[in-house]
Structure 1
Amino acid sequence: MIDMHVHLYPPEINADPAGWAARAGEPHWATLSTRRRKSGQPVQGFPSVEELLRAMDEAGVERSVLLGWYWERAENCRLQNRFYADCVYAHPDRISAFASVSPSAGEDAVLHELDWAREHGLCGVGELSPHSIGWACEDPILAAVLARAGDWGWPVNLHVTEPVSRDYPGKVETPLADFAQLAAAHPHTPLILAHWGGRLPLLLGGAAGADTAAYVEDGGAAVDFALPQNLYFDTAASPLIYGPDIWQKFVARVGAERVLFGSDYPLNLYPALSAEPDIARFAAELRERSGLTAEEICVISTDNARRLLGRL
């Protein structure tokens, strides 16, 4: 099993997340990552690499792909990328990692950072969220990043917010049509839309139904949509947003070949059942409660990741 959506942070962030965010100029990250639920329970943990490895062992996860963050400042991208390079170097059999980039550095610096990341063992880009940091989807720097990733065969992970959902602190709207346009503009770049891509294929490309009607009523654009060949979808944070029926519903629409298992660890996916993040419980949902066939489960949990990340 390969977990395609994991976040870790350097020790200096783990030691004082809110204080670090204030000093580093990352208020949006702090809003999302350091908040507590009404019960007082933290939304997520801040584990070490060793704690991640233990959680992987308990869940039967062979490899985790560490995703960066949509940092507002380029120096924080560099901090994260260097930490991830150390993780990959220390645990090449268990850990892979994607690079963070921010347009605040300018195009030359962004591409230089990608070159550095490639030279030091990273193998993709993201998680990016252009909408969260005011990075226009038509920005030439973003186009350059996606083109460079396509030249290398690197996947790019993009954050997508479920459009028909409750408000929560830090929620940012991410219009689904923007991702369809990015996929069309960069057909040679594999794009992984996080969080089931906000159900993009069901809302833009499915038969009109209650979900589609709710999306349009909420202001979403009803557009013609044929699923581009370079779009994939990860399952990060699924239990916080959707019931177990999402697995069958989504696979029926796009096929198992477009879905990647991703936990969003160390986000706590089952706050009513546990005070700690738990990859094993989510892995069990896929294996035991998704309603998918053994072949589909294998494709989602392992085969697609191996294909996208070739050398794994």
Structure 2
Amino acid sequence: MAVIDAHVHLYPPEVNRDPAGWAAAHGESHWAVMCARVRKSTGKPVQGFPSVDDLLEEMDVAGVEGAVLLGWYWETHDSCVRQNRFYEECVRAHPDRFSAFATVHAGAGVAALDEVRRARDNGLIGLGELSPHSQGVSVDDPCWLAVLTLAGDLELPVNLHVTDPLIGKYPGRVETPLVDFYQLAAQFPQVKFILAHWGGRLWREGGLLPENVWVDTAATPLLYDASIWAEGLGACRAERILWGTDYPLELYPKEPGKQTFPGLLDEAQARMPVDVLGANAARLLSLG
């Protein structure tokens, strides 16, 4: 069975060359806080900025056959468009290794809807990682609802960023009320939602997950202790969990040099049914 990382981020070469400078020049201050800063405790970057070849090499070392490339909840429409074009290039160059989701800013209105259609027509298979809360868009904003309606019409799964309300403060943290995700799932039963980061333990808000909701395991070591694996498995059912890392985020800040993929894969293999490591994503996203 192929191992698939369902939550990976990559950035275009111009972003990698000077992340902070690029963010300042393009009005992406929130992304800069989240991704281009250094940790006060160590002075080291919170994440790396690998190339496509770097990612493929790390996947090969760890035995990860496929990666789902997720966008970011950018503050500008232009940044969304650039990310999507880059991902289209990645998928065309490596269709056997990568699939990708498109990103949009609902504040762009009709342009956002046009971008969804264009990205779909150019091989992208979902939307996300999106966060209307971080983009200053209300979850009942008509443009946001139109994006989700279109996602349903085009059968595009939607990955949403979720912040656990019980997780402490960190730079760039934005509240994402859990009730909003239950509301969206009920309002759009035709949309398959993937809630990132264990869905912020959504189950504590309303019990069992709605039938159109999955969760991924992105950033687990930064957010939770090892008990989250059993808790999440009991609350979500194995078929609703997708293994994801949040690569290239530094997931082990207290253990410099620890490899992301091998460490996370070993832990997931020890604690999760095998389908979580790839088969669930393959079924949900029609991969392979």
TM-score relative to the length of structure 2: 0.96
Cα deviation 1:106-159 (Å, max 9, x = unaligned): 1x2111111110111100001001111111001111111111111222110000
> Cα deviation per residue 1:55-104 (whole Å; 9 max; x = unaligned)?
11122111100000000100000100000000000000000000010123
Alpha-carbon contact 1:44-1:277 (below 8 Å) kept: no
Deviation string for 1:208-243 (max 9, x for gaps)? xxxxxxxxxxxxxxxxxx521001000000011111
How far does residue 304 in structure 1 lie from its aligned partner after superposition?
1.0
Distance across 1 between alignment mates of 2:237 and 2:50? 34
Q: What is the identity, as a one-letter code, of the residue corresponding to 1:204? A: E
Listed as ranges, the matches of 1:1-312 within 5 Å are 1-37=3-39, 38-106=41-109, 108-201=110-203, 203-206=204-207, 226-275=208-257, 278-288=260-270, 290=271, 292=272, 296=273, 298-312=274-288
1:209 is aligned to none
Taking the aligned partners of 1:174 and 1:136, their CA distance within structure 2 comes to: 11
Q: 2: distance between equivalents of 1:3 and 1:239?
A: 15
Match in the other structure for 1:221: none
One-letter identity of the residue aligned with 2:108:
A
* 2:215 partner SS: strand
Q: Secondary structure at the match of 2:201?
A: helix
How big is the shift at 1:246? Answer: 1.0
Say what the alpha-carbon RMSD is for the aligned residues.
1.2
Gaps of 5+ in 2: none
Greater displacement, 56-65 / 1-10: 56-65
CA contact 1:234–1:260 (8 Å) conserved in 2:
yes
> Structure 1 167/277 Cα, relative in aligned 2: closer, same or farther at 3 Å?
farther
| CA distance in structure 1 between the aligned counterparts of 2:118 and 2:154, rounded to whole angstroms | 13
1:277 to partner: Cα distance:
5.6
Q: Say which SS state the counterpart of residue 57 (structure 1) adopts.
A: helix
Share of identical aligned residues, percent?
A: 55
TM-score normalised to the size of structure 1?
Answer: 0.89
The answer to whether the Cα contact below 8 Å between 2:106 and 2:147 also exists between their aligned partners in 1 is no
**What code does the residue aligned with 1:57 have?**
D
| Corresponding residue SS for 1:121 | coil
How many residue pairs get matched? Answer: 285
Residues 268, 276 of structure 1: 8 Å contact kept = no
Q: Does the 8 A contact of 2:178 with 2:202 survive in 1?
A: yes
Return the letter of the residue paired with 2:120.
R
Aligned AA (2:189):
P
Quick check: 1:162–1:199 contact (8 Å CA) kept in 2? yes
Residue 98 of structure 1 aligns to a residue in which SS? strand
Contact 1:7 1:68 in 2 (8 A): yes
Paired AA for residue 213 in structure 2:
L
